[in-house]
Amino acid sequence: MTPVSLEPNQQSTTTTITTSNSSQLPFGEYLFRRLEQVKNVKSIFGVPGDFNLGLLEHLYKTQLNWIGGCNELNSGYAADGYSRYTNSLGVLITTYGVGELSALNAIAGGFAEYSKILHIVGIPKTSVLNNEVEKAKHLHHLVPNIDSLKRSDHYVYTKMVKDVSCISKVLDDSKTIVEDLDQVIQAIFKTSRPGYIFLPLDMADALVDASKLSQTPADYHLIKDNHPLKTEEITQKILELVYKSKNPSILADVLVSRYHNATELLREFVDLTQFNNYTTFMGKSILDETNPNFVGDYIGLESNIGIKENMEASDLILYFGSYINEINTGHYSFDFSEDQLILLHPDYIKIGSEFYHGVNFVNVLSSLLIHLDSSKVPTNPPLQYEIKLRFPYLPSKASISQSHMLEKFESFVQPNDVIVCETGSFMFGIPDLKFKSNVKYIAQGFYLSIGMALPCSTGVGIAMKDQNSSSRLILVEGDGSAQMTIQEISSFVHYGLNPIIFLLNNSGYTVERIIKGETRDYNDIKQWNWSKAFEFFEFGDEKNSEVKIVSNEQELTKAFASTELNPTKLRFHEVILDKMDCPWRFHHMNGYRHLPATQ
Amino acid sequence: MTPVSLEPNQQSTTTTITTSNSSQLPFGEYLFRRLEQVKNVKSIFGVPGDFNLGLLEHLYKTQLNWIGGCNELNSGYAADGYSRYTNSLGVLITTYGVGELSALNAIAGGFAEYSKILHIVGIPKTSVLNNEVEKAKHLHHLVPNIDSLKRSDHYVYTKMVKDVSCISKVLDDSKTIVEDLDQVIQAIFKTSRPGYIFLPLDMADALVDASKLSQTPADYHLIKDNHPLKTEEITQKILELVYKSKNPSILADVLVSRYHNATELLREFVDLTQFNNYTTFMGKSILDETNPNFVGDYIGLESNIGIKENMEASDLILYFGSYINEINTGHYSFDFSEDQLILLHPDYIKIGSEFYHGVNFVNVLSSLLIHLDSSKVPTNPPLQYEIKLRFPYLPSKASISQSHMLEKFESFVQPNDVIVCETGSFMFGIPDLKFKSNVKYIAQGFYLSIGMALPCSTGVGIAMKDQNSSSRLILVEGDGSAQMTIQEISSFVHYGLNPIIFLLNNSGYTVERIIKGETRDYNDIKQWNWSKAFEFFEFGDEKNSEVKIVSNEQELTKAFASTELNPTKLRFHEVILDKMDCPWRFHHMNGYRHLPATQ
């Protein structure tokens, strides 16, 4: 973002924009009032810039909170976190060029992981876009054309987002912007993907008909069934197969958590059928892991012993909210035959070889619950294969190993905890854990952009606050990743959040050391005195925050024991680990190269 | 960037890649050896990731230094700074998706400001790109297709950089990659714009013919004259006009500093002609400001009193390295007639109404120096208009105002100092200063992305070290901007740099408060205890660093007096300013709204 605005028509500071009580409103106000009506939207993220200040002024006529980020990438990650927690919109506002581009990696991550981010970019006023202003030919924040004789292209950034958004619209026509806004929000909920609004500076003040606010419900989150007959047919086919099956299983994947109430519906389905149930790597925590029939996390060849064998021995697998990708499938090591599998995806349903396009699994799931005849449901046979960890304790040169930490972490995590886990080696230990009831686990398990978790957790924390949750927010962070986005740690204090942070200090990019360059300096990071973060970022005194260096098991036990269930202060633990220490799964993924010979 | 690499063919850690002494080399080694031959390239910037580790291994067979950044945006800014200081390549290495996208705003800034950044992105191996690997269908770091039934497009990111680069090539054919590399570097020097190399993981190890290393000089920085006859014709026309003129002037703009030895040539031309000479806002410090005929910075209506009047009274203006854009022209307020003006641009020369396309001003400048007959050159008449500051002292609610600080700053700056100035209000006071000899001033005066200056100055500092410069590096930074990219402050320590930092703490986004929202919370930033940066980022003890809070004039005087000419420690000054204090020019640009009524 940039400060230098030279738009001649811009008003001076804190102008009060008069709004009539009639059915007309300035579009900026209309926009925020509409967003306020969207389920679970109470806060807006972003960074101001001269092309969005005019819009931001309208925010103050609503109850929405402004959550300013230290930079746009961080705000993008925070909006993603807000969306993941609320299963609604995470709204991000940035400015032309400098702001929107800085956030692009967060948007791409949201796209790759089905996050409902609405990215609103403030752009120049319509007369500039239409080249009516000669003096704005080469405008600040805008890259000029490579051909120095040509005008700058005001839409150069707009074009860049085509493949990382489900929809993008330049809202430059006051006659259609109300409908345009609706279309963008609808598309975001329909696809669970980021969408873009490019808003010219002058359009924030353009008067629009506001009658929609009172007449048309903002029920974007509902998944309409466009093919009820197909849904009916699919339901019957699935139920027939279910009733015939002898050893059926349920596999829950991440997209369940992205569509309306699918998580609740699926949990109900699990309770009703009592089928053995599993989650994927990315689907972790969608199911109730205290359910007696919850088996564990199925990740193909990267599963724990027995999980793969039991899952693949099922004669029918109901795979809900499937997201088939490299990481989530244990590098494409899921091993099912077509006959075994029912794929229930937001875009299609696949029953054996039969393919139904355009049907969302949520509608099928609702229908299954309505039509299920519990008396016909087969009784689960006992699991054929014993489940056990592959490598429960991997040795480490440091006093604490990640293996030990994971074991203790399992009992540390309490019901209703919200865990945000950074991309890194620890993430690959999480599938070994069983969570207590209503734990929510958030991680970027496919796109894997390090630095995401810290700002993401500020967004999650804001969402929890907005939903009046008193649950604990736990952030597991790496040292290399934390350096990417560390400034956002101050947002915890600024917005009164009290996360419990575990910073795993393993002196650099451990995951990469395992892959290549164990001793190379490109895998080293700068030395920081992490525990001084509290003084630099103004965490206040001991009443507000507590910092601990954890370098042995006793300190770890103490750290896990000392946190209360309703945290009243921010807690920060720097856990000292060895450079090459990883959970077994990460070694396993990399061809067992560094695993101990025994076990 | 992400750590999780699952490329089956990747080797384990620190593999020694055997290289033959014959004419064949692995391309990764060839690439770095070729870069090593490019004038002034001694360090490489970036962040490791699983798709570039294979390439990075080859770096260790050369003398090039690896400068790891805390994140990719910062490394991009640092590469930009390196390029600006060296007038050569700033090389940036990032990884697929997560890394390259994070750096995109830095690249766009480099494009907008003619910076020679070579961005090398590690991408998946060729068999994956060619869709020969079924298991890589949906690869981590890669956004999938919005149509869930389609494969991911491996070139989705490659397409995004079209309008922010002069060239981009996927180097996927070992038979052509040596030529491809050359073409990319040539294009970067020819256009002084960023260029992209997308390097598949396996191509780093592909054997290529290395004979070019010893046979073809890496003289990319030389500007070839493709139209010597045109150059000759232009030279004669210009000289005729020069000899005829009565009151000629020279205006030096930023592009002079971007092409080979144009700065030296232009300074020579100034010395020979003794014409009155000016620089633009972005061209600041290109000319020797101790030259008796140096008048000042011409920024149209935003110039100091007398500068505009004198400049526009010239009957001939030789405008070298022109970059005509909104900010640089004082919002298009340059006021010349066509007859007065000779535009000397890298892509064209314009003499009055005559237009010559495809001629670079550097060749014309060389030719002018050869053919200039000093005896025919008119003698400069004295300046007609007195030069004075518009508002030398703007009052402030704080003890120190930017106006006072600027005045003291002028005498603080010593010959050979290198100044990096952040986008912000202070930047608009700089044109009021006259620099001593050989001061180098670096700022992003058109693209204006806040947060750029701090990481940029790490790149500048590395470049100074690489060139064995013992000059002082001065960084002027804002508090809001510093929060964007603060982590890179630790790179100063990590790489042994000793900048003198002035952090102007005005409690938020002052520039924006002037534009809109003086008291709005969107212009507030989080409270940090800046002086504790030293403990958190491990600056060591008083021998290595010194921190001072500067809140009154006496402390400011002391701060400016206490820094030695060959700094042996990093010095950090937090200067406390009022929220609404700005140099006069920034108020002026915004329609005088906040200027005091007097003056």
The DSSP annotation for B441-458 comes to EEE-TTT--TT-HHHHHH
CB contact under 8 A, A515 and B15: no
Give the pLDDT score at B592.
55
Give the pLDDT score at A534.
86
| B-chain residue closest to A328, CA distance | B140
Interchain contact A11–B (C-beta under 8 A): yes
Confidence category of residue A389, pLDDT binned at 50, 70, 90: confident
Task: Look over chain A and give the mean of its residue pLDDT values, rounded to a whole number.
Answer: 93
Integer Cα distance of A392 and B557 in angstroms? 63
CB contact under 8 A, B57 and A514: no
Mutation target among A91, A526, A593 for the B interface, most CBs of B within 10 A: A526
Give the pLDDT score at B596.
52
Say yes or no to pLDDT of A19 above 60: no
CB contact under 8 A, B68 and A514: no
CB contact under 8 A, A425 and B148: no
CA distance B412 to chain A (A): 27
pLDDT tens figures, A22-69: 699 999 999 999 999 999 999 999 999 999 999 999 999 999 999 999
- Chain A residues with CB-CB distance to B325 below 8 A: 137-140, 144
Give the pLDDT score at B303.
95
**What does the pLDDT average to over B517-521?**
93
Interchain contact B155–A (C-beta under 8 A): no
Beginning with the edge strand found earlier in the chain, give each strand of the sheet holding B473-478 in spatial order: B440-443, B418-421, B473-478, B500-505, B570-576, B545-550
Interchain contact B4–A (C-beta under 8 A): yes
CB contact under 8 A, A518 and B1: no
Integer Cα distance of B346 and B344 in angstroms? 7
Confidence category of residue B137, pLDDT binned at 50, 70, 90: confident
Structural contact between residues A315 and A243, judged by C-beta atoms closer than 8 angstroms: no
pTM of the predicted model, to two decimals? 0.95
Say yes or no to pLDDT of B15 above 90: no
The reply, when asked if residue A479 is annotated as ligand binding, is yes
pLDDT tens figures, A569-582: 999 999 999 999 99
CB contact under 8 A, B112 and A144: yes
Give the pLDDT score at B49.
97
pLDDT tens figures, B420-467: 999 999 999 999 999 999 999 999 999 999 999 999 999 999 999 999
* CATH code of the region A24-213: 3.40.50.970
Say yes or no to pLDDT of B178 above 80: yes
Give the pLDDT score at A592.
53
CB contact under 8 A, B589 and A518: no
Interchain contact A538–B (C-beta under 8 A): yes
Mutation target among A5, A7, A11, A13 for the B interface, most CBs of B within 10 A: A13
- Chain B residues with CB-CB distance to A109 below 8 A: 98
Residue A85, both tokens: 């927690």
**Distances in whole angstroms, Cα of residue A577 to Cα of each of A64, A504, B48, B534:** 42, 7, 21, 24
Give the pLDDT score at B190.
97
pLDDT tens figures, B66-99: 999 999 999 999 999 999 999 999 999 999 999 9
Residue B506, both tokens: 């005005």
Q: Which of A525, A440, A537 is nearest to A478 (CA)?
A: A525
Axis crossing angle, helix B72-86 with helix B104-112, rounded to the nearest 10: 30
**Span(s) in chain B for CATH 3.40.50.1220:** 228-376
Give the pLDDT score at B8.
34
Residue B40, both tokens: 């002034």
Nearest to A490 among B324, B526, B533 (CB): B526
**Based on the number of CB atoms within 10 Å of its own CB, is B214 exposed (0-12), middle (13-18) or buried (19 or more)?**
exposed
CB contact under 8 A, A535 and B536: yes
- Chain B residues with CB-CB distance to A201 below 8 A: none
CA distance A362 to chain B (A): 16
Q: Which helix (H) or strand (E) holds B243?
A: helix B228-244
Give the pLDDT score at A199.
98
| A-chain residue closest to B452, CA distance | A98
Nearest to A2 among B449, B532, B589 (CB): B449
pLDDT tens figures, A128-170: 999 898 888 899 999 999 999 999 999 999 999 999 999 999 9
- Chain B residues with CB-CB distance to A259 below 8 A: none
CB contact under 8 A, B516 and A53: yes
Rounded to the nearest 10°, the torsion over CA B430, B431, B433, B437 is 100
Centre a 10 Å sphere on the Cβ of residue A134 and count the other Cβ atoms it contains.
8
Integer Cα distance of A574 and A475 in angstroms? 12
Structural contact between residues A314 and A340, judged by C-beta atoms closer than 8 angstroms: yes
Integer Cα distance of A345 and A327 in angstroms? 18
CB contact under 8 A, A112 and B15: no
Say yes or no to pLDDT of A481 above 80: yes
- Chain A residues with CB-CB distance to B156 below 8 A: 163-164
Share of chain B above pLDDT 90, in %: 87
| A-chain residue closest to B479, CA distance | A70
CB contact under 8 A, B347 and A149: yes
**What does the pLDDT average to over A216-236?**
96
CB contact under 8 A, A537 and B515: no
> In the CATH hierarchy, which fold is given to the domain comprising A402-590?
Rossmann fold (3.40.50)
Mutation target among B163, B167, B518 for the A interface, most CBs of A within 10 A: B163
Integer Cα distance of A402 and A553 in angstroms? 11
The reply, when asked if residue B505 is annotated as ligand binding, is no
Give the pLDDT score at A587.
84
Interchain contact A177–B (C-beta under 8 A): no
CB contact under 8 A, B140 and A326: yes
Nearest to A101 among B71, B104, B193 (CB): B104
The reply, when asked if residue A480 is annotated as ligand binding, is no
Integer Cα distance of B213 and B203 in angstroms? 18
DSSP state of A166: S
| B-chain residue closest to A71, CA distance | B484
Say yes or no to pLDDT of B259 above 70: yes
Share of chain B above pLDDT 70, in %: 95
Give the pLDDT score at B20.
46
Q: Considering only residues 188 to 247 of chain B, which have any Cβ-Cβ distance to chain A shorter than 8 Å?
A: 191, 193
Inter-chain Cβ pairs, chain A and chain B, closer than 8 A: 374
Share of chain A above pLDDT 90, in %: 87
Confidence category of residue A9, pLDDT binned at 50, 70, 90: very low
Interchain contact A580–B (C-beta under 8 A): no
- Chain B residues with CB-CB distance to A1 below 8 A: 449-450
Interchain contact B438–A (C-beta under 8 A): no
pLDDT tens figures, A415-464: 999 999 999 999 999 999 999 999 999 999 999 999 999 999 999 999 99
Interchain contact B79–A (C-beta under 8 A): no
**Span(s) in chain A for CATH 3.40.50.970:** 24-213, 402-590
- Bridge-based pairing state of the strands A473-478 and B195-200: unpaired
Residue B580, both tokens: 């609404």
Q: Which helix (H) or strand (E) holds A474?
A: strand A473-478
- Chain B residues with CB-CB distance to A191 below 8 A: 146
Give the pLDDT score at B7.
35
| B-chain residue closest to A47, CA distance | B522
Give the pLDDT score at B471.
96
**What does the pLDDT average to over A314-332?**
97
| B-chain residue closest to A585, CA distance | B4
CA distance A155 to chain B (A): 11
Side-chain-side CA neighbours of B201 within 13 Å: the count stands at 23
Q: Which of B84, B80, B94, B35 is nearest to B59 (CA)?
A: B35
Interchain contact A524–B (C-beta under 8 A): yes
Give the pLDDT score at A379.
93
Structural contact between residues A278 and A297, judged by C-beta atoms closer than 8 angstroms: yes
Q: Considering only residues 386 to 425 of chain B, which have any Cβ-Cβ distance to chain A shorter than 8 Å?
A: 423-425
Structural contact between residues A363 and A225, judged by C-beta atoms closer than 8 angstroms: yes
- Chain A residues with CB-CB distance to B484 below 8 A: 70-71, 487
Say yes or no to pLDDT of A563 above 90: no
Q: Which CATH superfamily is domain A228-376 in?
A: TPP-binding domain (3.40.50.1220)
| B-chain residue closest to A67, CA distance | B522
**What does the pLDDT average to over A81-102?**
98
CB contact under 8 A, B325 and A140: yes
**What does the pLDDT average to over A466-484?**
97
Interchain contact B108–A (C-beta under 8 A): yes
Nearest to A512 among B48, B134, B522 (CB): B48
Interchain contact B20–A (C-beta under 8 A): no
**What does the pLDDT average to over A467-477?**
97
**What does the pLDDT average to over B137-154?**
95
